[in-house]
Structure 1
Amino acid sequence: MNPLFPALMASAFILSASGELMPTSAEVFGGKYASLDNRATSDWWTRQGPQRKNRKAMINLDVPRDKVIGFAIYTLEGSSLKMTAQLFPLKPDESQEIRLELKKGDTWKEIAKQKIIYPGWSAHFRINNWDGTKDHAYRLRHAEKATFEGKIRREPADKETIVVGNLSCNSSRTTGPRPLILKNLIAQDPDVLFFAGDQTYHHTQHTSGWLEFGMQFRDIMRDRPTITIPDDHDIGQANLWGESGIQATNAAGPSGGYFYAPEYVNMVQRQQTWHLPDPVDPKPIKRNIGVYFTDLTYAGISFAILEDRKFKTGPEGTIPKMGPRPDHINDPKYDRKSVDVKGLKLLGDRQLKFLNNWSQDWTGAEQKVVLSQTAFCGAVHIHGSPTNRLLADLDSNAWPQTGRNNALREIRRANATHLCGDQHLAVSVRHGIDAFDDGPYAFTSPALVNTIYGRWWHPADAKAGPNPVPNSPLPWTGNYLDGLGNKITMLAYANPINRSNEKQRSDGYGLARFNKRSGQVTFECYKRFTDITKDKDCQFAGWPLTFNFNDNDGRKATGHLEYNVDFQHPVVQIINERTDEILYTKRVKKSKGKLPVYSTDPHTIKIGKDKPVRVFKTGLTAKK
């Protein structure tokens, strides 16, 4: 195997069938963390036991030996296929190798084999020169009897509408299958799946939780590209402000940094993200914790995959405590500007640079989409219980406000749509940066299983904001300031009705449809306990929502600049010559037309087939 991410492989072992026990958790993660992932380390089979009917019940990892391959996940970009095979823990006398086969006619042919990595029991395949124009049946094999089959789909480059599943927050308190979600997704047949984080809540037993998640969703993941990114609960924390990898003081996280061993964090990231395209800037952060932020272009959609939390500053000791927790503010006298302290980080300089570069490269892309763990706003009023109203929650990307606005400006430069999870409350908003509605559209998925922490959108005055959504079935839409003063337009939300009733908790998932011909984007939000093949009213009230991807830049034009080139579908870029700011870079349909600008300053137009490599004209001023 080619270990692409050196940090993620730190303290990992390439297994060999020696008959000896693998190292204990204490030996792998350090004596302070002797119980980390210990249901899957060393003599793991002695720590399974019967299932317990409580919130910490976990799947039995001691499966029949012909079932040791749990699941596989993959991505495909151009001619590069990357796949992770996730196994159940192995015993000392078992083969430590896994094989990948493709079906040729009626015959299976081995094309690669890899050693299994410990801790975590994952194996990783990179296949170059992949033919993405055809479907390929694949089979993973371990020893003589264990197999797992799936399909690498042809890249649907010619498909007009690309469908992305938007999923997050898979509570481990509800064990077992997710039958209706799976049935509906198989019927809807999305082209790409995006799991935004909190795939498991078994904080310190990630291999158990990851296998549980994989068994729940493997029948939809086995035959389509799947993007998974870990969030706070996946790496064992209640919340995460990564602060470039410093040591957190506790697992609640507000001091900033990571609490558990870096080797554990890297194991989680390897299991969940190795199959993504290589990181664009792979330098590890402090304590040799790896990074994975990257981009993926597939079927005409370019995805930027972010790590919201990795560089973000923690609130404890950074701002005064103004509520029951360092990250919760409920003091009505607090000054919103006082918490936007100079120097605080959100995405961090490296990811902002990545977004800026990504926005200018449209190779193979018709539209752009940003994927991240959480939302760039605080679209929540009530947290945890129906009586717990907060003014602001610093766990979301609403804080720090300057970092939030800097991130949204980069997203807007690409005319990109934003998909995320984390909040346990489905919402669709349009962001405002300097003015309402001048920023991108965003869709926060509902929790797949919402037993952990309920949230509600419920303005204190119970009134709609200015410019409410016409004819909406929801009472509280329109323009609002969130608790940190950020401008948002609420378009739709799915409040829990009764959290003691699983069918009224607002569990569910989202779909986003990207029409490459028209530029139309549609958000759909589905209830968990409906059957789309039979039931009516399967979506939450307020959805579906439709807009054009060009509306992800909502600034009011003061005039337009004309362009005219000799090829179709050019990439165009506008630069303000006075400020040197790139206003936007996007692909347009026509070889000639008008481009909006937002001042009377002189501007430069650059053009190209995939990147804006050629200056078209300089010194242009807007025509009204």
Structure 2
Amino acid sequence: MARALCSDLQLTFHPDQNSMTPLTRRFALKCIGLGGAWIGFAPKVSAQDTLTATTSTAASVSWSNTNDRVWLGGNVWANPMENWRVVDGAAECQSAGGNRNVHCLTHQVTNAKGSMSMSVVIRQIEKKMSDGGVGFRIGVRSDIGDHRANCFAGGGINAGIIGGQLVLGNKRQAIDVDVTKDTLLSLIAVPGDGGGVELTLAVADDEGNPIGQISRMVDADAILGNVSIVNNFDGAAKVSQGARYRFSDWLIDGDAFEAKPENAFGPILWSMYSLSDSRSDEGFVLKSSVLTGPMGDDDNQQAEFWVQRDGQWKSMGTAKLDTDAWTATIRIPNWDETKETTYKWVYVEKHRDGTETVNEWVGRIRPNPSGRPLRIGALTCQNDYAFPYEPVAKNVAKMDPDLVYFSGDQIYESHGGYGIIRQPAVPAILNYLRKYYQFGWSFREVMRDRPTICLPDDHDVFQGNIWGEGGAPMDVDDGGASSNGGYIEPARMVNVVHITNTAHHPDAYDPAPVKQGISVYYGDMVYGGVGFAILADRQFKSGPQHVDTGSGRADHVHDQGFDTSVLDKPGLILLGDRQEAFLKHWANDWRGHSMKVLLSQTVFAGMATHHGGYDGYLKADLDCGGWPQTPRDRAIEILRPSKALHINGDQHLTSLCQYGVDRQRDSNWSFCTPAIAVGYPRWWRADEMNMPHANRPKHGNSDTGEYLDGLGNKVYVYAVGNPEVATKKNRYEKAHQKASGFGFVTIDTDAKTYFVEAYKFAIDPADGNPDNQFPGWPVTIHQDENAGENRLQ
């Protein structure tokens, strides 16, 4: 006989008869309790909720005191966020599609030998062609078991009601229940005979009167992982023809759970900041932005920035939350850059009953690193099959950079599942924000305590590639989102992408918006004795509709014999007049610094011979910065006096190369960093394609030396990190095979050198293993080599 979950109630199970004493609402409340385990951060618990918890893990996920809004709260993750709302004190699903669910973040089942109990009140608010069901899902577990990754895992055990039947895994039983009225679902799990777990699902009306129940035995390990509530289990509802439900008073208890309040995500999600020498009477300027979840009209619409001075907290002012981007930004001139300063963003959450909860996000503003080398963590492209990228996030933090740089593709359209919403703007924005939050969820600890530069790129605005055409709208009748110029998304959505990524950046050089009112963010930063140029190398670029690449996609050249010089048509644009003017000014402005770095999205060369699959030969890809060729050469000639190292990403293939214009190796070096998690793979296999080359480096690695890329650009390839063909199932092993990882650049302003490292995904950078880095790294480049005075052989 299995033991009862609550000893004072002496609940008795009879596995052989699949029966139990009635599970009433009173039992659920008594067994689960609320007491001091309230998850929702409310400072007070109402008298009606004051019960004694049975264990230290007892918790309530309640929306009774939450204002109407999109964001359900920091204790849960909603799939997908845009399909859920808090409405009149309950979580209401807005979609009749399948598998809409809400995961508890602060409680996971980790003890298979323990007991657990959950209850929730449900009510159907709309039914279309069918009812895909409602209830719980337990045992939701990814291959790595991380609570964040579990939120997007398949599998698990469904426990609830589908179309007049109780369902508990693969077992069903008829029941007479009216789900259009408040209905209590309760699920109990207790250790059973033989090492398994007995699950019992019971249904009662809103008065606690029992309606029916069902039990079954499962393997103990089957309950491990996240727990969630689900709207429409059934795949028949995938075409949005199912039902919609309200959920309230989700109660959780039992020693099977591990409680981790620190796993809550929000209402403050994360913050980013920059610190830059303005070289004016404003001195150093600090800019910081904070992100919250999408709040409601009755919620607080501002956040406050504080700093600690002489042991006391001092407010530096409030900032209004942009109610599209849910980002607040503060700008503070004349910052004392010589001292480390503790800061906090404060958001005061208002509740329906008039009470408030203070939420804080604390970090530190580092002093400007002077008199020592500047260390930069360089990252790009994070496909969510490897979410939450823990090996990279931990390794970057372990290496403790002074600055972190994300060069784009913080999201892909596939992030989190459930597709993309292109328009209208408001749901498209929510769809974007939900995906973007996975980026912060992974890297917020790295960004908390150091400056961050974060560039948006093509996938961030839901485009496979982007040729911005100066902000023009895309002609969707002439191509697609991957091979046509302009922006396919509404300008309002694109501006949200820019705000969430770059609002904290130093002020734009020329902030005038481009076509459609789309914002710009190009400009400079001076930090640690290094001058940075921040470019948007896609925003003004011409689209491939202006040229003819032959058959197939307009941006791809497949024919090895195709003369790509014909693609270099007069009038085509790469950076555009405005950014070229900025770059000319920046290349010759040495105030406050002695070395320079160019930060942009992609390499100014065609550094891949194969795309997508191992045999996917491609002579030229117009998405790279090597096209159009004439403005590419002009950009490099403008850049040459700066002697800047170009750090970029985008290509999913790490490379270290030197640009040539009039001759090989007469210009700047480029470091294309490894992708955090490679999705679409690329290879540089020039030798296999019999591409002529000269002057192979002394290390003798294949596919290196002086080449003409597929577009005819001069490029000296010093190192590449080609992937394997992925065969592994585990997300982290797969990412490692696909040549994922991160870059690291150390700039010594005394020695005038750039020390460039390219680390693989699943390694420990502190163990000294020479195989931790891709072949050819690390490399030291002297500043003068970026102007063609070559020493590296």
TM range (shorter): 0.7 to 0.9
Tell me if the contact between 1:67 and 1:147 (Cα under 8 Å) persists in the aligned partners: no
Match 1:413 to one of 625, 641, 654: 641
- Could you tell me how far 1:333 is from its partner in structure 2? 3.3
Match 2:466 to one of 227, 237, 240: 240
Look up the match of 1:554. Answer: 788
Any residues of structure 2 matched to 1:93-492 within 5 Å, and which? Answer: 93-143=298-348, 144-159=357-372, 161-176=373-388, 178-201=389-412, 202=415, 204=421, 205-250=431-476, 252-316=481-545, 318-450=546-678, 452-459=679-686, 460-461=688-689, 465-472=693-700, 474-492=701-719
Once the two structures are superposed, residues 544-588 of structure 1 have per-residue CA deviations (whole angstroms, 9 ceiling, x without a partner) of: 1112111111179xxxxxxxxxxxxxxxxxxxxxxxxxxxxxxxx
The SS at the match of 1:258 is coil
Q: In 2, distance between residues paired with 1:66 and 1:500?
A: 33
Match 1:46 to one of 93, 103, 114: 93
Tell me if the contact between 1:56 and 1:173 (Cα under 8 Å) persists in the aligned partners: no
Once the two structures are superposed, residues 139-173 of structure 1 have per-residue CA deviations (whole angstroms, 9 ceiling, x without a partner) of: 111113321110000101222x1111111001123
Q: In 1, distance between residues paired with 2:612 and 2:92?
A: 37
The SS at the match of 1:103 is strand
Q: Which runs of 5+ in 2 are unaligned?
A: 1-65, 72-79, 95-99, 104-139, 144-148, 154-227, 229-246, 248-260, 278-283, 349-356, 422-430, 729-733
Going from structure 1 to structure 2, the CA distance change for 1:346 and 1:96 (only over 3 Å counts) comes to same
- Could you tell me how far 1:488 is from its partner in structure 2? 0.5
Tell me if the contact between 1:172 and 1:209 (Cα under 8 Å) persists in the aligned partners: no
Look up the match of 2:207. Answer: none
Given residue 199 of structure 1, which amino acid in structure 2 is its aligned partner?
Q
Tell me if the contact between 2:653 and 2:683 (Cα under 8 Å) persists in the aligned partners: yes
% identity of equivalent residues: 35
Going from structure 1 to structure 2, the CA distance change for 1:495 and 1:123 (only over 3 Å counts) comes to same
Q: Does 1:499 align with 2:704?
A: no
- Could you tell me how far 1:209 is from its partner in structure 2? 2.0
Given residue 496 of structure 1, which amino acid in structure 2 is its aligned partner?
P
Tell me if the contact between 2:70 and 2:294 (Cα under 8 Å) persists in the aligned partners: no
Given residue 93 of structure 2, which amino acid in structure 1 is its aligned partner?
T
Given residue 195 of structure 1, which amino acid in structure 2 is its aligned partner?
F
Look up the match of 1:73. Answer: 272
Tell me if the contact between 1:40 and 1:120 (Cα under 8 Å) persists in the aligned partners: no
The SS at the match of 1:252 is coil
- Residues 514-523 or 42-51, more deviating: 42-51
Tell me if the contact between 1:163 and 1:513 (Cα under 8 Å) persists in the aligned partners: yes
Tell me if the contact between 2:691 and 2:707 (Cα under 8 Å) persists in the aligned partners: no
Given residue 400 of structure 1, which amino acid in structure 2 is its aligned partner?
P
Once the two structures are superposed, residues 290-337 of structure 1 have per-residue CA deviations (whole angstroms, 9 ceiling, x without a partner) of: 111000011110000000011111002x11132421000012332222
Once the two structures are superposed, residues 229-266 of structure 1 have per-residue CA deviations (whole angstroms, 9 ceiling, x without a partner) of: 10000011111000011111345242210001000000
Q: In 2, distance between residues paired with 1:549 and 1:534?
A: 29
- Could you tell me how far 1:187 is from its partner in structure 2? 2.1
Going from structure 1 to structure 2, the CA distance change for 1:214 and 1:21 (only over 3 Å counts) comes to closer
- Residues 254-263 or 493-502, more deviating: 493-502
Q: In 2, distance between residues paired with 1:19 and 1:252?
A: 38
Going from structure 1 to structure 2, the CA distance change for 1:105 and 1:440 (only over 3 Å counts) comes to same
Going from structure 1 to structure 2, the CA distance change for 1:299 and 1:483 (only over 3 Å counts) comes to same
Tell me if the contact between 1:40 and 1:207 (Cα under 8 Å) persists in the aligned partners: no
Q: Does 1:513 align with 2:513?
A: no
Tell me if the contact between 1:508 and 1:527 (Cα under 8 Å) persists in the aligned partners: yes
The SS at the match of 2:393 is helix
Q: Which runs of 5+ in 1 are unaligned?
A: 1-17, 24-35, 557-624
The SS at the match of 2:484 is coil
The SS at the match of 1:170 is coil
Given residue 344 of structure 1, which amino acid in structure 2 is its aligned partner?
L
Tell me if the contact between 1:464 and 1:476 (Cα under 8 Å) persists in the aligned partners: no
The SS at the match of 1:184 is helix
The SS at the match of 1:447 is coil
The SS at the match of 1:513 is strand
The SS at the match of 1:180 is helix
Tell me if the contact between 1:241 and 1:253 (Cα under 8 Å) persists in the aligned partners: no
Which of the pair has more CA radius of gyration? 2
Once the two structures are superposed, residues 334-380 of structure 1 have per-residue CA deviations (whole angstroms, 9 ceiling, x without a partner) of: 22221000000000111111100111111111101110001100010
Any residues of structure 2 matched to 1:506-585 within 5 Å, and which? Answer: 506-534=739-767, 536-537=769-770, 538-554=772-788
Given residue 458 of structure 2, which amino acid in structure 1 is its aligned partner?
D
- Could you tell me how far 1:56 is from its partner in structure 2? 13
Going from structure 1 to structure 2, the CA distance change for 1:363 and 1:268 (only over 3 Å counts) comes to same
Q: In 2, distance between residues paired with 1:172 and 1:357?
A: 39
Q: In 2, distance between residues paired with 1:291 and 1:104?
A: 35
Given residue 484 of structure 1, which amino acid in structure 2 is its aligned partner?
L
- Could you tell me how far 1:175 is from its partner in structure 2? 2.7
Q: In 1, distance between residues paired with 2:92 and 2:619?
A: 48
Going from structure 1 to structure 2, the CA distance change for 1:45 and 1:287 (only over 3 Å counts) comes to farther
With normalisation by structure 2, the TM-score equals 0.63
Look up the match of 1:12. Answer: none
Q: In 2, distance between residues paired with 1:282 and 1:142?
A: 29
Q: In 2, distance between residues paired with 1:516 and 1:314?
A: 39
Given residue 752 of structure 2, which amino acid in structure 1 is its aligned partner?
G
Going from structure 1 to structure 2, the CA distance change for 1:127 and 1:41 (only over 3 Å counts) comes to farther
Going from structure 1 to structure 2, the CA distance change for 1:255 and 1:447 (only over 3 Å counts) comes to same
The SS at the match of 1:99 is strand
Q: In 1, distance between residues paired with 2:669 and 2:316?
A: 43
Q: In 1, distance between residues paired with 2:337 and 2:408?
A: 28
Q: In 2, distance between residues paired with 1:37 and 1:291?
A: 28
The SS at the match of 2:581 is helix
Given residue 543 of structure 2, which amino acid in structure 1 is its aligned partner?
G
Look up the match of 1:591. Answer: none
Q: In 2, distance between residues paired with 1:100 and 1:443?
A: 36
The SS at the match of 2:516 is helix
With normalisation by structure 1, the TM-score equals 0.79
The SS at the match of 1:169 is coil
Tell me if the contact between 1:454 and 1:499 (Cα under 8 Å) persists in the aligned partners: no
- Could you tell me how far 1:499 is from its partner in structure 2? 2.1
RMSD over aligned CA atoms reads 2.9
- Could you tell me how far 1:50 is from its partner in structure 2? 3.9
The SS at the match of 2:586 is helix
